[in-house]
Structure 1
Amino acid sequence: MMEPPRLTPFCTLHVQLGPLREMGPGRAGQRRIIPITGGRVTGRIEGAILNLGADWQTIFADGAADIDTRYAMETEDGALIEIVNKGVRHGPPEMMERLARGEAVDPADYYFRTTARLESGDPRYRWVNHLILVGRGARGASGVEMHLFAVE
């Protein structure tokens, strides 16, 4: 029998968000775009989240959010790394309503999980192209804190 994969802390994303843009109803639910305007990456890789990219969300009838982000960071030594992070955020209706109002909600009171892939053409960081990462997040009033773990 094969041992299950281990999770190793990889980095923390401190993502700053711009004002939410409502797109209206889509095929599967309410659509919205949330600009990614900056932030920091700390951990095994370090650097600044760039002011580009967005979270293209679908909000389902039960209040669950389908997370679909694409953005980029610049490492402290000048390499560019793309971040694609997809997942789901859901919880009891009262918790999701509090999050929507920008209130502080304990991350233990809702489910916010993602899978992430990184990509870089910089020779110093090509190793990130081969990682599978999983994340656990917390939504704040103006940003997201996402802890990524490498699947070993």
Structure 2
Amino acid sequence: MTPSEPAAMPDTPAIPPAPALDFLCRITCEVGALVTLGDAPLGERRYVPLGGGTVQGPEFSGELVPGGVDWQIQRRDGVTEIAAHYVLKLADGSLVEVQSSGLRHGPAEVMARLARGEAVAPSEYFFRTLVRFTTGAPAWAHLNRVMAIAVGQREARRVVLDLYRLG
């Protein structure tokens, strides 16, 4: 090899294209008052009871069954870890379990405004979850193989989630 020749590159596989995101639905959920369990080893452990709500989208529509729970850890670094678990009742009566885990964080002053129930633009903070579905309804069995990314918005008395199927 001469000084002007490039060094041989080992065979490396091509980087695959980024996965597609296709809009699946919007979930709007009424939320109850936050309940704290106090300071735990990883931060403040708390939960938010989930009330009813709606599901609307090109893939399916229906309602959110009251009784779900959004478990949270308010970490010492200001990040809120989210683990929500609830049920959707689709328009045909089929039930679909939803498990959602993710993170919410932003500048301290923005998060303080959210905590006070003030209106905050979703662009001012990060709120994303990974969503999985489980159902025994034959017509909706394909949802058992779906992963979705939710972009969330926290309001004073509700949460709005826009779900995108991960392709």
Quote how far apart the aligned CAs of 1:62 are: 2.5
Cα distance per residue 1:60-92 (max 9 Å; x no partner): 112210000000010011000001010000000
Quote how far apart the aligned CAs of 1:135 are: 1.0
Q: Scaled by the length of structure 2, what TM-score is found?
A: 0.89
Matched, 1:12 2:26: yes
Partner of 1:148: 163
* SS of residue paired to 1:108: helix
**Bigger CA radius of gyration:** 2
Distance 1:20 1:111 in 2: 20
Partner of 1:78: 93
Match of 1:56 among 50, 66, 71: 71
Partner of 2:56: 42
Distance 1:63 1:96 in 2: 8
Matched, 1:3 2:17: yes
Aligned residue pairs total: 152
Quote how far apart the aligned CAs of 1:45 are: 1.1
Letter aligned with residue 52 of structure 2: G
Partner of 1:91: 106
Letter aligned with residue 140 of structure 2: Y
Identity %: 37
Partner of 2:149: 134
Distance 1:119 1:45 in 2: 14
Partner of 2:46: 32
* SS of residue paired to 1:84: strand
Letter aligned with residue 6 of structure 1: A
Matched, 1:22 2:40: no
Distance 2:149 2:127 in 1: 11
Cα distance per residue 1:3-57 (max 9 Å; x no partner): 2211000111101101111110111000111001110001011001001110000
Letter aligned with residue 32 of structure 1: R
Cα distance per residue 1:84-114 (max 9 Å; x no partner): 0100000000000000000000100000011
Greater shift after overlay, 17-26 or 86-95? 17-26
Q: Which runs of 5+ in 1 are unaligned?
A: none
Q: Scaled by the length of structure 1, what TM-score is found?
A: 0.98
Partner of 2:10: none
Partner of 2:116: 101
Could you say which structure has the higher strand fraction? Answer: 1
